[in-house]
Structure 1
Amino acid sequence: MRLPRLKSSYISGQLLMSLVLTSLAALVGRLVFINASQGPRLLARTYEQQRATVPLPARRGLIVDCHGRILAGTALQKSVFADPSLMPDKHHAAEQVGQILDVPTSELGQDLVAAGSRRFFVVRRRISDDQAAALRATRLPGIGVFEEPYRTYPLTSLAAQVVGFVSRDGAGLAGIEHQCESWLTGESGVKTIVCDAARRAFWLAEDGYQPPRDGYHVVLTIDAVIQAAAERELQAAVDKYKAESGVAVVMDPRDGAILAMANVPTFDPNHFQDYAEGSAWRFRNRVVTDPFEPGSTFKPFIAAWALAERVTQLGEIIDCEAGMWRDGKRLLHDHHPYSGLSFEDVVAKSSNIGMAKLGKRLGNRRLQAALRAYGFGQKTGVGIVGESEGIVPPPHQWTSFSTTSVPMGQEIAVTPIQMVRAFAALVNGGRLVNPYLIRAILESDGSVVQEHQPTSPREILSPGVANTMRDVILTGVVNHGTGSQAALARYQVVGKTGTAQVPKPGGGYVPDAYVSSFVGAVPRQDPRLVVFVAVRRPVKSIGYYGGTVAAPAARQIMASALAYLQIPPERDGVVEMASGSAGD
């Protein structure tokens, strides 16, 4: 009876063993299948989880003045990054990080959730050294501290509208920062390291380092010393006359290099985000973006054209009608009741009636040709985003009023950069130079990548006409005309004043609102500087004529620049200038 039980047990054991062996065979077969079909993918996934990729930001290139003074530079900041995939408890991580950074837990938690599957994103930038040390001490999985470059402007507001600023992510938003974005940016690198499960680095992966290429440096024609003088004197004029705003430009008339571009009010690009939304106009470089009606500073351009077209000559006496003249339906006035003025004094004394009569001799066709030749109604190509063409009506819109308005600087609008360009032609022998702001692009080691190539200036006036304007007419404006407050003792300044009314958008002019301006050059015999100053809406009761408001500021800018550049004086001692007329 026992034998059958033994046989039965033996059979059961055999069956059990067969089942075990069959299962093992199936498992081994499955493992072989998985290894053959999916092994490379799983191995790659495991390998990926053991590696961490850390970006290596490129340093943004410098923006420097013509002598290498840094206007925009790069410094290092500590920032916090997160890898949400390594965080077992995002709420706990947000709570601890939030306490250290003084950021609400809910805000950080939302950021971590919004990051989704990203393996790297920046939580906060520019944290303190103490905050960085505290974060490292937590040893939180998926939280780390790294260094990255950030933009800094060591001279704060100096040339702010020229230089511009960058976004929080380092992209250029305005000025040269925006204009030269492709040069300045560079290319980021990458570092791949092998880590443990807690994201601690063990070693640099093979072929895991690609260095960044830093951005190129941009060298401007701006001279920080002359720029500072222009801003200082412009601010003083705006403050003294309680004006709304002001602009100033300094250019070398020989080649068009811009030495200074000043705007008041200004801003600090280190903290551009702190300015109210309604203050965005401060960021605009109004030297190139905002056209204005020039008024009497425009008169020399038409006077020169009248000489060139031989519709007048030096010494001709022009009847200025005792300060009041009716031309058809239009009644024109002068600031003073002049009877007869020489052609030279029509400009020096800024007679509207005298200029209107010259306009009638030229006619609209030749006036339009003059404006085109001087570059009005066209961009100068100075290289700044947002440059305006100004406003010059097309020929079919000109009327008989235009014939007498344009010679007085009315019915048109020009930019300050157009003014210095055109005025340079009156003092450099008649050549229209192209203003420029970028001198060179450099590698980080200083080697030249690209350099400004001057273009041949176009002759728009004969040297004889241009020299007559400079040596006789524009000299007279300063020595015995409306520009006497621009005079310097040891240098002969030449120039022209202007006092223009502010137009209303729908036509007509704003009562008691003016733009007071002066444009001039120095030294007379070999001009090195053309300076333009305009002060918008000074308080009339304090002073509003261009000769009173703008000319003194231009004089101080010239004096500072001449001393700094060590330009030899033209004469010795103090020269008394004749008392200039009031008016514009």
Structure 2
Amino acid sequence: MDRNRENNDRKDSQNTNKFTTKMQKKLVVLYFLVLLAFAGLSARLVLINRDNGEQYKRQVLSQQQYSSRTLPFKRGEILDSKGTKLAVSEKVYNLVLDCKLMNEKEEYVEGTIAALTQCFDVSESDIRSYNEQNPTSQYHVLKRQLTYDEIAPFQELQNNEEQGKYIQGVWFEEEYRRVYPNNTMAADVVGFTSKDNVGNYGLEEYYNDILSGINGREYGYMNDDSNLERTTKAAVDGYNLVTTLDANIQGIVERKLQEYNDTYKNAAREGNGAQNVGCIIMDVNNGDILAMASYPFFNLNDPRNTDMLLGQHVVNEQGAVQDTIINEETLAGFDDDTLYRQLNALWKNYCISNTYEPGSTMKPFTVAAGLESGKLTGNETYQCNGSLTIVEGQKPIKCHSYRTGGDGLVTVEGAIERSCNVALMKMGQAIGKTTLLKYMQDFNFGLKTNIDLAGEARTASLVFTEDSMGPVELATASFGQGFNVTMIQMVAGFSSLINGGYYYEPHMVSKITASDGSVVRNIEPRLLKQTVSESTSAKIRDYCKAVVVGENGTGHTARPAGYIIGGKTGTAETQPRGNNQYVVSFIGYAPADDPRIAIYVVVDRPNSDKQDDAKYATRIVKSVLTEVLPYMDIFMTEPLSEAEQKELEEQQIAYKQQLMSQVSGNDVSDNDVGGEGGEDQEGGQAGEGSQSGEGTGNEEDNVNRPAMEIDPETGYGILPDGTRVDPKTGDAIDEDTPLDLPEPNLPLNDGQNQGDEGGDNSPF
């Protein structure tokens, strides 16, 4: 029996061995078949992915909720030196419709469209038409750049328990909009941004990389609650710019330029008061630009508005200024290219982008070159008979006094005071072209100042060289004709002339800060070189002081009441010679005994029959300094004459009348002061004498003052400096003084006075 069991076990073992071998063979075959199947499947997947991968990817994603959006950065702010905001970025919202989500239920469509038309100025028919044509669209912008106040009513409906459940497929895309709170203030300096948030012109362009940040991103696959697998990369905001500008001083300057244009617009011909009017005020001791403006202005919040083109000259394709004036008729005939060319001319900053011959404002530079080089001692005298022959056989070059037989015997100081061309030409001959050209380069003529603004002109090809300067060119260059400069070159060089010889690089930004207020970088003043010695600088200050206060000075009308200033007038005839078109100017400093600021005003071709009269510039200087110097706590040093006292009183009366008009809406009558005869008549040039001006037009003393606000609780008028005044009379009052108040519906000023923002501009 045991033997039988053993035999059976042996047979079972044999049978098991036979089964295992067969199975192994089968498994091997099966393994290779499966491997081949996987290989074929893999190859097929590769081919599908290569040929149709994107199509299937879109199909898969369309069946899931996927949230991905850009988080915009906030462009940095631009502020004046005291924190007044010149450019800011405010958050706005784009109204976006997701048709696919809205179409999930019919009640969603009706409820959503009803809410949209109730809260926004959108067309129901347009929404329905778009939805019918694009039922699966998930991104359709209905309205752009809405403020929070504009979207708040709709969000209230969304959050309403009853109505909100029927509003689906609407969301708000965040972005930032560039806003300029003061509209036209410092338009040339600040610049503006394009729709893609890129800076154009001015600080916006020059510091675009600093002002720009980095967009963030929020993305991930989302569940029904839209809160799973969310990844957020925060945006990095741009840095802020703190400028050297003082909004109060800037506002004064812009207001005075506007007044000039209002006075002389259409005076002798159709058009603005001049082709261009520019003004720069600079701290002579560090290069800070306190104010920079040129007229006409433009609105930074609406830079393509064509209203400010009216009265300007047409610019042709080559950039040359034409005689044609832009009016409603010519404006209507412009094609897009022509219109854009005119706007580009408007947006340019005249103070840094345009070049012109400086005229007699060059004379202090010529004298300084002679004194510093030792070619002049300052004790020389010159005989002026009204003209000087430079090259035998050629026409003599005339002085402004040629009609009266010349200036006679003049000293170096007298030559500056009287602005004698003949004396300056003789000085130029003594100095020589090599020395004069060397000092011209030291003063940065022909070189860029590298001011931190976009658009500074290059003048390297517009100045004389050793090869191009002959005897006649040396003579005319000595009194500022034959070569071109920019306003920023002149004021920076002149500041070094009167501050002891120290040439500072002019600059617009003092520091860069982060969004939390921390200082990223301080931009210190850059002292580049010393152009002249302290002793030469002192002499130039004395000579320029005589221009304003000397008996024969040409700049009497630049002096503000109660102050002594120094400076130099300038008149230069434009090309071609003999066209009787002039650029007139005044460059000066205040106060005379301890210069703190330099001021430079240029009037490019005044709207007058007789343009060669520097008083078009000096009157602006006087008007500006009358307000700027008290604001800067620079006190009067000179007694007031009866006439000056009366003038200041009239300005006070005009100020009060202006305040009253802003409250009552009544017009203020003009208080015109008659203009005097021309004092700066030195604009002679090679071959053609400049005729003396007689002074045309009246200077309007009535000024636009800051708007007053009305305290709704007390009824007092509140000036920008906090002074409380009677809204009827403009008189300052105590808080306890009872007022005879107007009715509550009295029309008030709307607070949109151009060029008046930034604080109290009153000198009183």
TM-score by length of 2: 0.64
Distance 1:292 1:189 in 2: 47
Q: Is the 8 A contact 1:479 1:580 kept in 2?
A: no
Q: Is the 8 A contact 1:234 1:533 kept in 2?
A: no
- Give yes or no for the alignment of 1:583 onto 2:681: yes
Larger mean CA deviation between 178-187 and 459-468 belongs to 178-187
Distance 2:126 2:276 in 1: 44
> Deviations for 1:174-229, whole angstroms, at most 9, x for unmatched residues?
21111111111212222337657xxxx72333452222222111111111011111
- Give yes or no for the alignment of 1:227 onto 2:250: yes
Distance 1:320 1:305 in 2: 21
Q: Is the 8 A contact 1:193 1:202 kept in 2?
A: no
Residue 249 of structure 1: aligned partner: 280
Distance 2:234 2:524 in 1: 33
Distance 2:168 2:62 in 1: 19
- The amino acid that maps onto 1:170 is N
Q: Is the 8 A contact 1:291 1:415 kept in 2?
A: yes
Residue 355 of structure 1: aligned partner: 424
Residue 146 of structure 1: aligned partner: 173
Residue 62 of structure 1: aligned partner: 77
Distance 1:516 1:103 in 2: 57
Distance 1:486 1:364 in 2: 32
Distance 1:56 1:456, change over 3 A: same
Q: Is the 8 A contact 1:433 1:458 kept in 2?
A: yes
Residue 326 of structure 1: aligned partner: 389
Q: Is the 8 A contact 1:441 1:448 kept in 2?
A: yes
Equivalent position to 1:524, from 573, 592, 602: 592
Please list every run of 5 or more consecutive structure 2 residues that lacks an aligned counterpart in the other structure: 1-33, 265-272, 307-338, 645-676, 683-764
The residue matched to 2:592 in structure 1 has which SS?
Answer: coil
The residue matched to 1:202 in structure 2 has which SS?
Answer: coil
Q: Is the 8 A contact 2:605 2:611 kept in 1?
A: no
Distance 1:576 1:482, change over 3 A: farther
- Give yes or no for the alignment of 1:474 onto 2:544: yes
Tell me how far 1:315 sits from its aligned partner.
4.0
- The amino acid that maps onto 2:620 is A
Please list every run of 5 or more consecutive structure 1 residues that lacks an aligned counterpart in the other structure: 1-25
Tell me how far 1:539 sits from its aligned partner.
2.6
- The amino acid that maps onto 2:204 is E
Tell me how far 1:84 sits from its aligned partner.
7.7
> Deviations for 1:3-23, whole angstroms, at most 9, x for unmatched residues?
xxxxxxxxxxxxxxxxxxxxx
Q: Is the 8 A contact 1:313 1:343 kept in 2?
A: no
> Deviations for 1:430-468, whole angstroms, at most 9, x for unmatched residues?
111111111111011111111103223411111101101
Equivalent position to 1:541, from 585, 591, 609: 609
Distance 2:609 2:486 in 1: 27
Equivalent position to 1:491, from 551, 563, 588: 563
Tell me how far 1:232 sits from its aligned partner.
1.4
Q: Is the 8 A contact 2:452 2:508 kept in 1?
A: yes
Tell me how far 1:66 sits from its aligned partner.
0.5
When the two chains are superposed, the root-mean-square deviation of aligned CA atoms in Å is: 3.8
Question: Residues 329-344 of structure 1: matches in 2 within 5 Å?
Answer: 329-336=394-401, 337-344=406-413
Give the number of aligned pairs. 538
Distance 1:317 1:103, change over 3 A: farther
Distance 1:205 1:257 in 2: 54
Distance 2:375 2:618 in 1: 30
Question: Residues 100-499 of structure 1: matches in 2 within 5 Å?
Answer: 101=121, 124-127=143-146, 144-192=171-219, 202-241=225-264, 242-275=273-306, 276-277=339-340, 278-321=342-385, 323-328=386-391, 329-336=394-401, 337-390=406-459, 391-470=462-541, 472-480=542-550, 481-499=553-571
> Deviations for 1:58-106, whole angstroms, at most 9, x for unmatched residues?
21111000111100012222212356887879xx99x998996557989
The residue matched to 2:594 in structure 1 has which SS?
Answer: coil
Distance 1:464 1:121, change over 3 A: farther
TM-score by length of 1: 0.82
Distance 2:643 2:384 in 1: 29
Distance 1:387 1:487, change over 3 A: same
The residue matched to 1:218 in structure 2 has which SS?
Answer: strand
Residue 15 of structure 1: aligned partner: none
Distance 1:338 1:104 in 2: 82
Between the aligned residues of both structures, percent identity stands at 28
Q: Is the 8 A contact 1:70 1:154 kept in 2?
A: yes
Larger mean CA deviation between 283-292 and 554-563 belongs to 554-563
Distance 1:105 1:222, change over 3 A: farther
Larger mean CA deviation between 159-168 and 46-55 belongs to 46-55
- The amino acid that maps onto 2:626 is A
Distance 1:105 1:513 in 2: 60
Q: Is the 8 A contact 2:601 2:621 kept in 1?
A: yes
Residue 649 of structure 2: aligned partner: none
Distance 1:226 1:194, change over 3 A: same
- The amino acid that maps onto 1:494 is G
